[in-house]
Amino acid sequence: MLRENVRPSCPTPENLRRYNFSMLDQIFPPLANPFVLYYPNTTQKINDPDSLRRSLSVILSRFYPLAGRASVEGEFIDCNDAGVPFTIARFRGHNLSELLTNPRPDLLLPCDTDWGAKPGPDSAVMMIQVSYFDCGGFTIGGILWHKLCDGVTMFSVVRSWATAARGGKEAVFPNYIAQYMFPQKEQMPAQLGSHYDIAKIGKSIVRRYVFNKWAISSLKSKVSDVERPSRVEVVVALIWKCFISASFANGKSTSCLTQTLDLRRRAQPPFPQECFGNFLALAPAMSNNDGNVELGALITKMRGSINKIDGEYIDRMRGDGGLMGYYQNLRQQWAEYCDEFDIFPISSLCGLNIYDIDFGWGKPVWCSKCDASNDSEIGSVWNRVWLLDTQNGDGIEVWVILEDIYMSVFHQVQELRALALVDPTPTSHLRSRF
């Protein structure tokens, strides 16, 4: 295993040496944001790790905070060009198909995913591991510090890196306006509705549920009382309904679904997608833990919560007075909440075109989102859900991370098991190609 620091190809100017966290970044907890992309050997081209290093160096000149180090106080990034830790691992005697038959994302990441929870001074904020297999396939695993950027920024970085590796000319130039639009606040206590209150650390069980096109159509047919339900809405509603059953079985009377929304698209006018940082807000929706609740009723609650996050919501948080606007938004969004409610956070990465990310050796056949899968027990954030597109683009893969006493009930809901593939072998139909 070889490890080095990849530095920006051009030095960061002195006037850009300090990158301040925005107020929206301050809200976010210091957690790791991992991903692994899996690439089979379909082009028969020789995968050159030097090309990956050089192209990463090129894009770090634009995404310069990623090559910096966290300050001692955790208030800013020292953009000192210290570099991104870059590991090359070789799994001799193994083929990529083995990792797709029995996924072990933890082997393909550059460090443990609790790394981001307690960053020390001079901590790196991005790490990369490229893993090679005897079949010629490879994986790219990365961890970015979630306090610095969200999933949109993370995959914008990876996509820019891939474009540079292919020799493409369509460069992405990140927009760093967040630190000025939502300036940092000297005192930013944890408040209800911030991401501090959502993240819970403990032993958890990870399962994957894959909904194909047929399953999603079946779900849509069950919500005729809702106008034009989206595929994400119907899947989230079913997952929430399963959590309601688990929450009730564990003595809770009310559940609170929180959907993570991208503020770039909800601003008026919209912010550029290239905006760097955390542009996220939580939309809470409450429901009594009624086992007979209909999917349409849950979607209506979800939409009502989301509609409150509009241009005015965002404008209130701008500028020097943004902290008061943030508190006003919290009061409006969380007026119904009390401590007895069971919080269930869901984030969707659908629509980010992850499966188009091509480094020059073809497109990925799978993307994994955390450091374990199937029945692996991990010390991780629990009561957490991620949604990703499937490779063909018309399905949804749901990563569910729950405390074991919740998962034992969640997993037994018949409506879920009748529609979703449970922990399927990723891309098993493509295995012969590797």
142 lies in a domain? yes
Residues 208 and 170 reside in one and the same domain: no
Residues 154 and 254 reside in one and the same domain: no
196 lies in a domain? no
Per-residue pLDDT of the chain (434 residues; tens, 9 = 90+): 788 999 999 999 999 999 999 999 998 877 888 999 999 987 767 677 889 999 999 999 999 999 999 887 778 999 999 999 999 999 999 999 998 988 888 899 988 766 555 555 578 999 999 999 998 999 999 999 988 999 999 999 999 999 999 988 777 899 999 999 999 988 766 555 555 456 566 678 899 999 999 999 999 999 988 999 999 999 999 999 999 999 999 999 999 999 999 999 999 999 999 999 999 999 999 999 987 899 999 999 999 999 999 999 999 999 999 999 999 999 999 988 888 899 999 999 999 999 999 999 999 999 998 766 554 455 455 678 999 999 988 999 999 999 989 999 999 999 999 999 999 988 654 443 44
424 lies in a domain? yes
Residues 386 and 243 reside in one and the same domain: yes
Residues 159 and 226 reside in one and the same domain: no
Using an 8 Å Cβ cutoff, are 205 and 404 in contact?
yes
Say how far apart CA 370 and CA 234 lie, in whole Å.
Answer: 23
Tokens of 331: 């009061």
Residues 140 and 206 reside in one and the same domain: no
The separation between the first and the last C-alpha atoms of the chain, rounded to the nearest angstrom, is 23
195 lies in a domain? no
Where b means 16+ CB within 10 Å and e means fewer, 246-263 reads bbbbeebebbbbbbbbbb
Using an 8 Å Cβ cutoff, are 95 and 135 in contact?
yes
Residues 159 and 230 reside in one and the same domain: no
SS3 of residue 402 by DSSP = strand
Say how far apart CA 382 and CA 34 lie, in whole Å.
Answer: 15
Cα–chain center distance at 1: 27
Residues 292 and 338 reside in one and the same domain: yes
At 87, phi and psi to the nearest 5?
A: -110, 135
Residues 230 and 109 reside in one and the same domain: no
286 lies in a domain? yes
Residues 128 and 241 reside in one and the same domain: no
Residues 267 and 396 reside in one and the same domain: yes
Residues 215 and 150 reside in one and the same domain: no
Where b means 16+ CB within 10 Å and e means fewer, 36-45 reads bbbbbbeeee
Residue 315 sits in a domain of what CATH number?
A: 3.30.559.10
Could you tell me which residues come within 8 angstroms of residue 209 by beta carbon, excluding any fewer than 6 positions away? 239, 397, 398, 400, 416, 420, 421, 422
Q: Is the peptide bond before 8 cis (omega within 30 degrees of 0)?
A: no
Say how far apart CA 116 and CA 143 lie, in whole Å.
Answer: 9
434 lies in a domain? no
Using an 8 Å Cβ cutoff, are 419 and 218 in contact?
yes
Domain range for 144 is: 2-179
Quote the number of domains for the chain: 2
185 lies in a domain? no
Residues 148 and 210 reside in one and the same domain: no
362 lies in a domain? no
120, burial (CB in 10 Å: exposed 0-12, middle 13-18, buried 19+): exposed
Q: Is the pTM of this model over 0.85?
A: yes
Using an 8 Å Cβ cutoff, are 194 and 27 in contact?
yes
